[in-house]
Structure 1
Amino acid sequence: MPERPPVTARLIDRARRIRQRRHRAQRRTADAAVTLAGYLRTETIGGIVMLGAAIAALLVANSPAAELYQHVRDARFGPGALHLSLTTGEWASDGLLTLFFVIAGLELKRELVVGELRNPRTAMLPVFGALGGMVAPALLALLVGRGADGIDQAWAIPVATDIAFALAVLAVTARTLPASVRVFLLTLAVVDDLGAILLIAVLFTAHLAVLPLVGAAASIGGYLLLQRLRFRGWPVYLALGVLAWGLLHASGIHATLAGVAIGLATRVRRDPGEPYAPAEHAEHRLQPLSAGLCVPIFAFFAAGVPLTGGALPALLTDQLAWAVVVGLVVGKAVGVFGGSLLAIGVRLARLPDTMHWRDLAAVSVLAGCGFTVSLLIAELAFGVGGEGERLKTAVLVGSVIAALLGTVLLRRRVRARHT
């Protein structure tokens, strides 16, 4: 009979096999994580995850678990001494959503430095479209809601276009349309978000504490200086970003603006020998986290509005709700198309050769998908419950109507191009 290997050899061999199995399992897990992150970097998947979270919120808020949902959303925790004793919903809107605004800041900086906004003539079309898409919804909302209590703040709700929502609809329904259509919508949404961010800063700063504001500016200045010096220690950047966020929150300005400032302070040009610019690397790392976790959690706690009982009849008779819906569905379409037409008419811009007027009209309707930022403005203006719930429902209704109308028009454009 052959000799059995010594006990020590058998133990070593068994340990080796265990390590190999563990390594294979870790590699499969890592591959799955990389694949998932890659999916979340696409607007289609990110938009679908966000919409799934909103639908889940609506289902839970109108189920027997509604009381538990409200209890979790309104639970308060955090260090009160640092002005950070917030509800779960506030942590989602003030904290997690900051990462979404970091991505918006990075995209805006990239467009300004190396993208569409770098060329003034090319940028004028989406910029004028975005400006029209902010002015027209506001004016229409003021007109429809004239005389109603709260219209002095509600007019700002339909001003925003949701990047993820609109691009997801475009990617799902009209993938074969020219790239110029997507570039126009992306640039328009980025400029639109910048305008909405400025509105948040102006309209929803109840008080201003100067010292924390100076500290926040110093933190962002330090971040910018380290970027200029090509410093590579990401823990320091993370600490400066969190510090800027906390100080800005303490100053009375909405803390998500820290995310925009950090994004704009990040370098977007790649140095010789550098594989990626810091902005590109940051966006690559943060986009899956924003799309897969931060925005869906915000949507889950923001979109959970009750639709039972007399909620929908109350919505139909609410003048402010109608102002929001009309602003999103009609105001956005008229404003974006009219602003673009004006830019072309005064010869500040021209329609891309690959883009038809009807493509522009379809995208203008799709820009009425307000969602994330519109929900945030509604919550900041009216809080949780009562009128705030009805206006958030109006945002959902208006965004869905705009998405459906945009889908119909985009599908017609796809069919027309293939006939």
Structure 2
Amino acid sequence: MPSTTTRLLGRGSYPEAQRIASVLRKETVGGALLLIGAAAALIWANSPWGDAYETLRDTRVGPASLHLDLTLGTWAADGLLAIFFFVAGLELKREFVAGDLREPRRAALPIAAAVGGMAVPALLFVLLNLGGPEGSLRGWAIPSATDIAFALAVLAVISTHLPSALRTFLLTLAVVDDLLAIVVIAIFYTEELSLGILGLALVTIAAFGFLVQRRIRSWWLLIPLAVVAWALMHESGIHATVAGVLLAFTVPVVRSDAAGGPDAGPGMAEHFEHRIRPLSAGFAVPVFAFFSAGVAVGGLNGLGESLGDSIAIGIMVGLVAGKAIGITGATWLVSRFTRAQLDENLGWPDVIGLALLGGIGFTVSLLITELAYGAESESYDHAKVGILAGTLLAALLAAVILRLRNRRYKRMHEEETRDVDEDGIPDAWDTVDDRADHDRDWRDTPPPGRTVGPSAES
């Protein structure tokens, strides 16, 4: 009889592990480019030519008649990040429709961890800023999001053999809390809302969804609709990146014989993700980092002043302690109040190390900072210093813990990849429970070029 005990952070299905590994390799490259962009911005902003950086960032381009004469920095935050969130939306839908997380028992942990990893940092920030300057509490959501590209870049640097289950959990956690952050932005950082224009945006998104549900891939139809939806969302008062998520949610994930059969090629979500993820990881996010990370700290005295500000302290504590407590605590609660048990190959230090990686906040944190305080305020600069310092500290602590566990991870990696059967699946995935998961996933998510699965797209 198969065991009825759910294993937290247990090994998932083999096809899903292979797919996640491919995604993470691409995001690791994007993380390296992100670090280069952020470092270049910091160096330039604090050099004798810092004024030129600000001039470039504040240069306005775009048609004024359409209210789109935006600065380059705003184009990066509102435009390029919409691409990033489109890819994140595709990934999240793919996980919940055809991935391991379509099973509620597997989905519960990353969702709970994402919620805990957002709630506790926000609470700590509020507690540390209750007596702070007027308006400081507007930044309560800044330490809430995890930057998956930055986190994976750290993993690449420390060369850890992080097990596939932990990598999958990290990716899913980051995607879920990025999407939750978008909900927070839409609800709490929308000051003026035009319902009429919002309605037009939703109609345009529905038209996009109508086309993709019928497997229409013509770029000359889809891209103009997506751009119009983005522009209308921007004009409605809701942050334009929300359009990227909503567009992604309309894209079908699974394929059927009625949709083209085995020779029809990859599904729509997979097709879009393969084409757009390199643009997101290799261009959109690094360029956003370049235009957002450049803060002139004013030497050691200025740095000390920024780090002593309650906003910066709240962000640092939220990213480091808040994320660690929230993610680890949520994982413990799931194990405590369900029949789930931590996988026998892992221990709570592994969860803490992963939770600290969750404290690497950058892309969405910088976006929320601009929305909360405005690009010209002193609080904006202090918050950016807090984000950079908190991210660096979380990365260093995570690196220490995960390096201490790396010998165990290396042994697990060797066990996962050796003794491959004739079916091409390592024996490590051939337990009773995991084999059942694999068989089910193989039917629903075949490799490129094969299509078998449900009778309708979703």
TM-score by length of 2: 0.80
Q: 5 Å matches for 1:14-413?
A: 42-148=26-132, 149-271=134-256, 272-273=261-262, 274-309=264-299, 310-347=301-338, 349-385=340-376, 386-413=378-405
C-alpha distance 81-320 of structure 1, shift in aligned 2 (>3 A): same
Per-residue deviation at 1:356? 2.8
Distance 1:40 1:355 in 2: 21
Distance 1:352 1:222 in 2: 45
Q: Is the 8 A contact 1:136 1:327 kept in 2?
A: yes
C-alpha distance 383-177 of structure 1, shift in aligned 2 (>3 A): same
Per-residue deviation at 1:41? 5.9
Cα-to-partner distance string for 1:18-50 (whole Å, 9 max, x where unaligned): xxxxxxxxxxxxxxxxxxxx9996222110110
Look up the SS of the partner of 1:369 in the other structure.
coil
Corresponding residue for residue 414 of structure 1: 406
Distance 2:196 2:138 in 1: 28
How many residues are aligned here?
Answer: 382
C-alpha distance 353-281 of structure 1, shift in aligned 2 (>3 A): farther
- RMSD between aligned alpha carbons? 1.8
Q: Is the 8 A contact 1:181 1:355 kept in 2?
A: no
Cα-to-partner distance string for 1:178-228 (whole Å, 9 max, x where unaligned): 100001111111111111111110111111111210111001111111122
TM-score by length of 1: 0.88
Per-residue deviation at 1:259? 0.6
Look up the SS of the partner of 2:342 in the other structure.
coil
Distance 1:262 1:376 in 2: 20
C-alpha distance 97-314 of structure 1, shift in aligned 2 (>3 A): same
Cα-to-partner distance string for 1:206-257 (whole Å, 9 max, x where unaligned): 1111121011100111111112222232221111110100000010000011
Q: Is the 8 A contact 2:162 2:406 kept in 1?
A: yes
Cα-to-partner distance string for 1:26-81 (whole Å, 9 max, x where unaligned): xxxxxxxxxxxx99962221101101100000000011211111011111121122
Q: Which runs of 5+ in 2 are unaligned?
A: 1-21, 412-458
Distance 1:135 1:39 in 2: 27
Identity of aligned pairs, percent? 49
C-alpha distance 349-240 of structure 1, shift in aligned 2 (>3 A): farther
Q: Is the 8 A contact 1:174 1:410 kept in 2?
A: no
Q: Which amino acid aligns with 2:191?
A: A
Q: Which amino acid aligns with 2:282?
A: G
Distance 1:362 1:190 in 2: 18
Per-residue deviation at 1:363? 0.1
Look up the SS of the partner of 2:333 in the other structure.
helix
Look up the SS of the partner of 1:230 in the other structure.
coil
Distance 1:220 1:94 in 2: 17
Look up the SS of the partner of 1:81 in the other structure.
helix
Larger Rg: 1
Per-residue deviation at 1:362? 0.6
Q: Is the 8 A contact 1:44 1:167 kept in 2?
A: yes
Distance 2:384 2:307 in 1: 13
Say which is worse superposed, 156-165 or 352-361, in terms of deviation.
Answer: 352-361
Distance 1:73 1:232 in 2: 35
Per-residue deviation at 1:355? 3.5
C-alpha distance 378-49 of structure 1, shift in aligned 2 (>3 A): same
Say which is worse superposed, 57-66 or 233-242, in terms of deviation.
Answer: 233-242
Q: Is the 8 A contact 1:212 1:250 kept in 2?
A: yes
Distance 2:314 2:158 in 1: 28
Corresponding residue for residue 7 of structure 1: none
Per-residue deviation at 1:153? 1.1
Distance 2:340 2:175 in 1: 18
Look up the SS of the partner of 2:184 in the other structure.
helix
* Greater helix share, structure number: 1
Q: Which runs of 5+ in 1 are unaligned?
A: 1-37
Say which is worse superposed, 230-239 or 188-197, in terms of deviation.
Answer: 230-239
Say which is worse superposed, 269-278 or 158-167, in terms of deviation.
Answer: 269-278
C-alpha distance 237-355 of structure 1, shift in aligned 2 (>3 A): farther
Corresponding residue for residue 25 of structure 1: none
